[in-house]
Structure 1
């Protein structure tokens, strides 16, 4: 485009300033009225197309800036090469003359505005506008629905809180009424006795007065007869007083209150008011695509849902709202026919693709290892039942330190950078051990011995010998029973999200339940797993468990439906494995045997 399209180019070359009326794209200059007439009849330019300057101004800047001259040779474009899809000047032609697809550019540009290519581009632009508006409208509707769902969830949360408050208020009022009635009843009994005693006291006082008067004024006969009468009456009063001591009427009456354990343990049993669940439901939104006008595009729209149950008879029935969220990457793939397809990628971990690479194998020198754990600094902790000690090894497999004479230690669980917890099947306490100062930090008193243990969110979850799965708060050491069942010796437990998974070696099963004790699934397959003991989970919820009698390590899918043997006696020389621990931070698996052998694997 000329630098000054407002002036006539021909006149400007003659140093005359005349405003241009039309623009010639081929000459790339404006023309005034006189020059326009000459341009229109001149033999060399009469076939040039011109456009008025007013209309020319309407063209976008990026269109006006498209060069119509070859930037290499400063020559006019005269040819089009179909092979290279480019325009050429005469000088460029020598690079393309060997190709048959070189055409005069006038033939290519003839009727281009009415060509199919122009029409297709025009249609594509229209379709793009329509599709963008439809998608924008759909997303705006989703925003509105999210806002409405948020408001509904807030109302539901508030209603739940109100129900809880009302229920607790009712329980409190009932207890206060019971307290008042009890106090009034017991006080009434005491006041009634006090009234009787007052009457007895007045009667005895009267006898005292009469006896004094008799002593002063009565004759000997009257005195003798009066004494007999008073003695008979006092015998009755003495009998009454003695009867009071023989009955419970003189017992010290106290009133006290035992607060419901569910209320006392509510901070331990209910860790969250609820959780927000993000789910997706498929919707059909039609978009226009050239040649396939009504291709259907399925788009996942996020919705939110809260799962909750009403409070009825028991306080602990304020249920956690269950979470199941899966993030997916959504991509639209266009094939050659331009029909869109949906490509969905879910972050799942297929147990059939898991591979274990041995990193280290060493003997700990311990016997009857019942627990193991990997620390953040890659050190390894083992608990030895037979030798009553906990031993820590460096990442290289050499001994770091040991703590002895605690108890017959069973399982261990890492709590934080300074502490681990240790159970004992023969002691009614859980020991908290300071691994930095290498000493016993404190014992937590419980109601029975314990087998397996796992740490989660400030709580310890244990396999109790007495009443199944218990949760102990490290904050106040309160205890809450999650699942009151009979567990066999050597039962272990682990946790993932809102689920607990534990082993029952006596019936060769691995069981998954929620934090209310409801069974979600049970795995049992004696062809691959006999006498399961130590158990752990990876980042995707896949369950790793040792088979003590089958001498192997098995992985079970997160839904409990599939399994696969990873390590066996034949492939790795694994004999009598007892425990394992999966470190989710490093994808490392530690396996230990009753003979003291330790195997460290990297899982991919």
Structure 2
């Protein structure tokens, strides 16, 4: 009995000691979780403030557009109205893209704080759980006027008509070279141009229109260019009199990393997924696998010099500047359609295709850009001669950013925003 009493006393003392230890541990856990709560609160407020600050800047721009519009309505001449509305369209388009980018980046999700308590815990140290930040999907949606209008007028989605396409000039670029034959835009926003024949160079212009790099391409003459991935491009050799083929170039380190030999002079070049498609002088279109560089002959035809190629879905397109034609083939090598109208398109060279299968082509001889519908039955001139075009040779479409790059053979290039119908803004002067 005495022994049991002593054990009871000892165990009671141990229990009280353990309780004191647990109380101390719980106090420490409380302090830690309160500190974590304060840190998460700071992060949440900072994230929200960053978005609000950015949106506030855009609000100022929208207000200025409203003031400008009212001034145009009251005082501007017809020419001033035309120029002013074009400038407003560009700003509206940029703001729409900005808002859409916020939504895509999940920046508009509602940020909250949640205390996640572990219901079952193996140790007391986990009992209180942790503080976490949660994101709830934003109920805010963006519908541009053109999309809203489409929802009202039609039940099913239809492809964009070429008649709805409008190009809005964003900026003019000075190319530090002559005889430009290829162009593209990198993911970082740089503009790349191939300067053919005499200079044989790859020109890189930064987003602020400053020369970043000028890489010599010799012995290749450097004709057309296409992106393979974020750091790699392919360039055809054009008039090179030595080896015929294409160069694979690391644009980050400005160096050649491979050369793929082909059976003739190479002109236009395009990429589709893991394949390159190349115009080969007098032979037709060749396909090159970008992983193992195995080549195959996909279309046999007598292509002349300065022919270009584009690929979309299961279709392959090429230009023939000698007979002024644009030709579409299917993946089996069967001709689908041919466009040929010398009154509207003369000496077609560079080409590109949008997401609807509409084909954009530059007319080197006609000094213009036209769009041909996906079935080849309709066409529209979107950039006539009086838009600064002088022997344009190259064209590139960034479908995601809806930007079109058009390069003259000499000195200049132009960047356009692509708009499908005029954007309408819901604002006080909407119906004016």
Show the counterpart of 2:205: 393
1:575 to 390, 398, 423: 390
> How far apart are the structure 2 equivalents of 1:332 and 1:355?
20
1:98-130 Cα deviation digits (max 9, x unpaired): xxxxxxxxxxxxxxxxxxxxxxxxxxxxxxxxx
Q: Is the 8 A contact 1:429 1:449 kept in 2?
A: yes
In the superposition, relative to structure 1, how do residues 332 and 502 fare at CA in structure 2: closer, same or farther (>3 Å)? closer
Q: Which structure 1 residue ranges, 4+ long, deviate > 4 Å from structure 2? A: none
Contact 1:421–1:432 at 8 Å: present in 2 too?
A: yes
Q: What TM-score do you get using the length of structure 2 for normalisation? A: 0.59
- Partner of 2:322: helix, strand, or coil? helix
Aligned equivalents of 1:486, 1:332: Cα separation in 2 = 47
Out of 467, 477, 494, the residue aligned to residue 310 of structure 2 is 494
Partner of 1:482: 298
The one of 381, 402, 417 aligned to 1:587? 402
The Cα of 1:405 is off from its aligned counterpart by 3.8
Q: Residues 377 and 486 (structure 1 numbering): CA distance in 2 closer, same or farther, change over 3 Å? A: same
Matches within 5 A, 1:97-176: none
Residue 168 (structure 2) pairs with residue 357 (structure 1): yes
Answer whether contact 2:272 2:312 (CA < 8 A) is retained: no
The match for 2:287 is 471
Q: 1:421 aligns with which of 234, 257, 264?
A: 234
Distance, in Å, in 2 between the alignment partners of 1:431 and 1:389 is 12
Match of 1:509 among 325, 330, 335: 325
CA distance 1:405–1:413, shift in 2 (3 Å) = closer
- SS of equivalent residue, structure 2 residue 224: strand
More strand per residue: 2
Q: Distance in 2 between matches of 1:466 and 1:525?
A: 23
Residues 538 and 587 in structure 1, CA contact (< 8 A), matched pair in contact too: no
Higher relative contact order (CA 8 A, sep 6+): 2
Aligned ranges 1:6-405 → 2 under 5 Å: 344-385=155-196, 386-405=198-217
> 1:474 Cα deviation (Å)?
1.7
* Superposed CA offset, 1:334-377 (max 9, x none): xxxxxxxx953223111111111111102212111110011112
- SS of residue paired to 2:176: coil
Unaligned segments of structure 2, at least 5 residues: 1-149, 420-432
Q: Between Structure 1 and Structure 2, how many residues are aligned?
A: 266
Q: Aligned with 2:163: secondary structure? A: helix
Q: Considering only CA atoms, is the larger Rg found in Structure 1 or Structure 2?
A: 1
Alignment RMSD (CA, Å): 1.9
Instruction: State the Cα distance separating 1:558 from its structure 2 match.
Output: 0.9
- Unaligned 5+ residue runs, structure 1? 1-330, 334-341
Alpha-carbon offset, residue 494 of structure 1: 0.4
Seen in structure 2, the aligned counterparts of structure 1 residues 352 and 343 have a Cα distance that, compared at 3 Å, is closer
Q: Structure 2 CA distance, aligned partners of 1:343 and 1:392?
A: 44
Deviation at 1:444, TM superposition (A): 1.5
- Matched residues in 2 for 1:470 and 1:394: separation? 32
Cα distance between partner residues in 1 of 2:310 and 2:331: 12
